[in-house]
Structure 1
Amino acid sequence: MSQANEAIESDERVKRISPLRKALIRPELGGMCGTVIVFVLFLIFAGDSGMFSPQGVMNWSQVSAQFMIIAVGACLLMIAGEFDLSVGSMIGFASMIMAIFATTFGWPMWLAILVTFAITISLGAMNGLIVVRTGLPSFIVTLAFLFILRGFAIFLPYAFEGKSNIGGIKEISEGDWLASVFGGKIFKGLFQWMGDNELIATFSRGTKAGQPVIEGIPMLIVWALGLIFLGHFILTRTKFGNWIFAAGGDSEAARNSGVPVDRVKILLFMFTAFCATVLATVQVMEFSSADAGRGLLKEFEAIIAVVIGGALLTGGYGSVLGAALGALIFGVVQQGLFFAGVESSLFRVFLGVILLGAVILNTYIRRIITGER
C-alpha cells in the first residue's frame, strides 16, 4: 500500500493541492469568516446591550431560523444551476390560502395545512416542468410566478374577506395536532426548571409571574435545524446529492452519464416550495394571522444567504452548512444593529455590501477550481 501511495505521489499527472488551497476552495469558508467577523464586531459594540443574554440569543436565533428555512431549498436548487425567485411570494400566497381555508371555509387547521402544502408543492413542480420542458431560464419563469403568486396573495383576501389581513387563526388552531408541529415549543419543562433555579430570567409580576421569559425552543428553530440536517445529508451522503452537483456542473455531461437531470431539478423546485410553505405555516401559527405582504423580498435574502455561504452563481458548487451560516449572519446583523443602536435601514446597505463581497470571493474561488486566470 505504501509503495502504491509513493507511486501516486511521484506521478506527475497527479495534481497536488496545498493545504491552503484546499481551505480556500471549501464552500463554507466565506460563511465561516463572515460569522466570526460579525460576532466579534457585535461583541465589541453591542456586548453590553443584552444581545448575548438568553433573551437576546433567542431573538436573533429566531430571525436567523427564518432565513435558514428558505436558504436550504434555495441552496440545493442553486447548486443544481437554477434559481427560484417566487419563494417570497410563495410564502405570502401559502399563508393566505391556509388562512382562507381555515377561517372562511371553516376547515380544521390540519386539513388547511395539508391542502396548502399540496397546492404549493404542485406549483413548485409546475415551475420545474416549465423550466425543463421549455428550456427557458429559471430566472424568467420564477420571476413570472413571483408576480402571479403575489397578485393572488393580494386578491384572494379581498375577494373572500374584503381586507388584506385574515386573523382568528389562534382559536381555530387551538389543540390541533398538526398546528402544534409548526407553532408550539419544546423543552418547556427544562426552561421552567432553569427559571425556578434562577438560571434564566423569569417574570416578576402579572399573570406570568414566576414563568421563565424563554418558555422553550420554538418550532421555527426546530424546523430550521431539521431542514439543515436533511439538506446537508442529502447533498453529501446520497446519490441524489451527487446528481445535484452533476446537474449544476455540466447538465449535458450529467445526462450522458445517466443522471436524470430534469427529474432532479423538478424535485428541487418542489423542495423550495416546501421550505417556503414551512416558513409560511410557522408564521401563521406565530402571528395567528395571514397578511398579503408577508414574504416580501425573502427570495433575494435567501439567494444572498446562499451566495454568502459559498455557492457559485453558475451552479455545481456550494454547501448547505455554508448557506446556514449566511442565514445566521443575516439574523445576527439584523438584530445586532438594533442592539447597537444603529439605524435599522442600514441593514439593506449591509446586504448590498456583503453580496458584492461574496460574489467577488466566489469568482476568485471559481478561478482557483477551474484554473482560470
Structure 2
Amino acid sequence: MTSETQSPPQDERIKEQSSFRQWLIRPELGGICGAFLVFVFFLLTAFDSGMFAPSGVLNWSIVSAQFAIIAVGACLLMISGEFDLSVGSMIGFAGIIIAILTVQMGWPMWMAIITTFVLCMILGGLNGWLVIKTGLPSFIVTLAFLYILRGLTIFAAIVTTRKTIIGGIHDKAEGDWLAAVFGGKILTGLFQWFGDMGWIETFERGTRKGQPVVDGVPMLIVWAIFLVVLGHILLTKTKFGNWIYAAGGDAEAARNSGVPVNRVKISMFVFTAFCATVFATCQVMEFGSAGADRGLLKEFEAIISVVIGGALLTGGYGSVIGAALGALIFGVVQQGLFFAGVESSLFRVFLGVILLLAVILNTYIRRMITGER
C-alpha cells in the first residue's frame, strides 16, 4: 500500500504578499494616487470658487480631454518602444490644412477634414517607415519632423493668406455633417431639462435667458472617452495589443516569435498622427480659426501624461487608463490653480516636479519587475 505525498499548505502571507505586489506594479497606480491627491487638494482649497460647479467641471473636463486625446496615441506608441515629438507640429499643420482647403480653396468642410486626416496619417506612417528603415532613434526622426512640419505650416499659411491665423471656419462648417462630429455637442436636450428642473444654473437675462450654463457635452470630450476606451480594448483584449507590448519589450525576441514588429510600430505612428488630427479638428471647430503656432509643446505634455500614467520610457509597459488619468491630473491642476487664485505660471513648475516624481516611481517599478538593483 502506497501513501500519497501531500504538499505542505501554502503560507497565506506569501499569497497576500504576491497579490499586493501584483497590485503595486500595476501601471495605473501612480495615476490613481495622483488623481486622488489632486482632487482632495482642490476640494479643500478651491471648492467655494466654483471649480466643482457644472461650468467649472466642464472647464477642466475640456482641458483634460485635450490632453487625453493626444496621450492615447502617445501611450500606445511609447509602449511599442517609440516616441513621436512631432505631435504638436502635426496639430498646427492639420488645422492650417483644413483652413486653407475650406476658406481659401472653397472645399466642402467634410472633404477637407477627410483629406487632412489622410494626409496626416500618411505623414505619421512616413515617420514610422523612416525609423524602421534607417534604424535611427525615433527621437531624432520625429524631432526633425517637428521642425519640418512647423516650418511647412507657417510657410503654407503665409503664402496663401499672408497671415499665420486663418479665420472663417465657423461659416464654412455651418450645416456640415462631419463638422458636427468634431465641433458639436450631445445631450443638449437632457441638459436643457436639467436647467428647467433647476438642477443646473441658467442664464437670467439677455438672449440666452433660460438656457443652462452647461448646454451639452462637447464632442471633444466624447472623442477623448472614445479613444481611451478604444485604446484600452485594443491593448488589453486583442492579439494586436499583445504585439504592441512585445514590440516594445524585446523587439528581437518578438520577431523570432512571429510578431510583425515593423508593422506594429508603423501602425502606432499612424495612430498617433490620427489622434493629433482629431485634436486639431476639434480645436479648429471650437475656435473657428486655425493658427500656425497651435499645438506648441503638446508633444511633451502628451509624453508627461503617459509617464504619469505609469508607462516606462523604455517601452513594453504601460496603460491607456493610466495615461487618461495623467491627462485628468493635468487638466484639473491647470484649471484648479486658476480657481484657487494661484499664479498660473506655477503650472509648469508642477509639470517638472510631477515628471521627475513619475520617472523615479517608474524606475522603481521597472526594477521590481526585472529584479534589477
TM-score (norm 1): 0.96
Change (3 A) 1:218 1:24: same
Cα distance in 1 for partners of 2:245, 2:16 equals: 23
Q: Deviations over 1:87-110 (max 9, x none)?
A: 000000000011000011100000
Alignment pair present for 1:83 and 2:100: no
Listed one character per residue, the Cα deviations across residues 122-165 of structure 1 (whole Å, up to 9, x for unaligned) are 00000000001111000000000000011111111110000110
Matching residue's letter, 1:264: V
Q: Distance in 2 between matches of 1:55 and 1:123?
A: 38
- Name the residue aligned to 1:164: 164
* Match of residue 186 from structure 1: 186
Residue 308 of structure 2 corresponds to 308
- Match of 1:132, as an amino acid? I
Show the counterpart of 1:333.
333
Partner Cα separation in structure 1 for residue 15 and residue 144 of structure 2: 45
For these two proteins, the number of residue pairs brought into alignment is 365
Q: Does 1:222 align with 2:240?
A: no
Q: Distance in 2 between matches of 1:337 and 1:58?
A: 15
> Where do 1:10-29 residues align within 5 Å?
18-29=18-29
**Which residue number in structure 2 is paired with residue 54 of structure 1?**
54
Shift of 1:23: 1.6
- Map of 2:282 onto structure 1: 282
1:333 Cα shift?
A: 0.1
CA–CA distance in structure 2, aligned partners of residues 157 and 132 of structure 1: 32
SS of residue matched to 1:207: helix
Letter in 1 for 2:343: E
1:219 CA drift (Å): 0.1
The one-letter amino acid paired with 1:72 is: V
How many percent identity over aligned positions?
A: 73
Q: CA deviation at 1:7?
A: 6.7
Residue number in structure 1 paired with 2:255: 255
> Residues 352 and 254 (structure 1 numbering): CA distance in 2 closer, same or farther, change over 3 Å?
same
Deviation string 1:230-273 (CA, Å, 9 cap, x unpaired) is 00000000000000000000000000000000000000000000
CA distance in 1, matches of 2:165, 2:226: 30
Matches within 5 A, 1:114-193: 114-193=114-193
* Cross-structure match for 2:356: 356
Relative to structure 1, the CA distance from residue 244 to residue 7 in structure 2 (aligned partners, 3 Å threshold; closer, same or farther) is: farther
Query: Secondary structure at 2:131's aligned position in 1?
Result: helix
> 1:107 matched to which residue of 2?
107
TM-superposed CA distance for 1:121, in Å, is: 0.1
Cα distance in structure 2, aligned partners of 1:314 and 1:9: 40
CA displacement at 1:48 relative to structure 2? 0.8
Distance across 2 between alignment mates of 1:35 and 1:20: 21
Residue 264 of structure 1 is matched in structure 2 by 264
Q: Write the letter of the residue equivalent to 1:327.
A: A
Q: Does 1:69 align with 2:61?
A: no
**Displacement, 1:20?**
2.2
Q: Which moved more, 1:65-74 or 1:151-160?
A: 151-160
Judged with a 3 Å threshold, the aligned counterparts in structure 2 of structure 1 residues 15 and 363 are, in CA distance, closer, same or farther, namely: farther
Name the CA distance, whole Å, in 2 between partners of 1:207 and 1:348.
39
Deviation at 1:16, TM superposition (A): 9.3
> What is the CA distance between 1:17 and its match in structure 2?
5.7
The DSSP-based 3-state class of the residue aligned with 1:178 is: helix
Corresponding residue for residue 3 of structure 1: none
Letter in 2 for 1:144: A
Q: Is 1:96 matched with 2:96? A: yes
Counterpart residue number, 1:208: 208
CA distance in 2, matches of 1:144, 1:263: 22
Please give the root-mean-square deviation of Cα atoms over the aligned residues, in Å.
Answer: 1.5
Q: Which residue of 2 is the match for residue 346 of structure 1?
A: 346
Counterpart amino acid of residue 139 in structure 1: F
Q: Residues of 2 paired with 1:175 and 1:81: CA distance?
A: 42
- Distance across 2 between alignment mates of 1:253 and 1:82: 17
Deviations 1:182-206 (A, max 9, x none): 0000000000000011100101111
Deviation at 1:41, TM superposition (A): 0.5
Q: What do residues 195-238 of structure 1 show as CA deviations (whole Å, max 9, x unaligned)?
A: 01110010111111111111100000000000000000000000
Structure 2 unmatched runs, 5+:
1-5
Distance 2:64 2:83 in 1: 21
Q: Note the C-alpha offset of 1:18.
A: 1.9
**Which AA in structure 2 matches 1:19?**
S
